Amino acid sequence: MKKTFQLNIEGKNRDRVLEATKHEIRQYIKRERRKTLPEGVDFWDFDCQFGTTVDNAQGVHFATLTALIDAVAKEGGDAFYLELLAKPGHRTARIGAGPTDDTLQ
């Protein structure tokens, strides 16, 4: 998804447009995650670019998208650009995440 979302649409409530925008993004994410995973892939990850325009978009972490959208809306911005591209994700083992020998006794 590569799209510029307008927040100020004539004749529409700004808050409703903001919520509709977030809903559209969530629906896209759900649709992408439902796709069949390729062999050897654990989950769908996302490359994210966010900015007020296409030219100043920067790479951001997926989990910060809602906060960034809210910040643009709070500042009174008219629009923002979002690029979400699904990519294969691989889980990595966390050190110290499993049970220890002491807990198994």
Host H or E run for residue 46? strand 43-51
Q: What pLDDT, on the 0 to 100 scale, is given for residue 91?
A: 87
pLDDT at 63 over 90: yes
| Mutual angle of helices 14-34 and 65-74, in 10-degree steps | 160
Q: What pLDDT, on the 0 to 100 scale, is given for residue 94?
A: 80
21-36 mean pLDDT: 95
Q: How far apart, in whole angstroms, are the C-alpha atoms of residue 31 and residue 8? A: 27
Kindly state the DSSP code that residue 93 receives in the 8-state scheme.
Answer: P
pLDDT at 39 over 80: yes
Average pLDDT over all residues of the chain? 91
Distance of CA 27 to the CA centre of its chain: 11
Helices (H), 1-105: 14-34, 65-74
Q: How far apart, in whole angstroms, are the C-alpha atoms of residue 51 and residue 3? A: 11
Q: What pLDDT, on the 0 to 100 scale, is given for residue 104?
A: 53
83-95 mean pLDDT: 88
pLDDT at 36 over 70: yes
Q: Please report the DSSP string for 72-87 in residue order.
A: HHHTT-SEEEEEEEEE
Q: What pLDDT, on the 0 to 100 scale, is given for residue 95?
A: 81
Global pTM reads 0.82
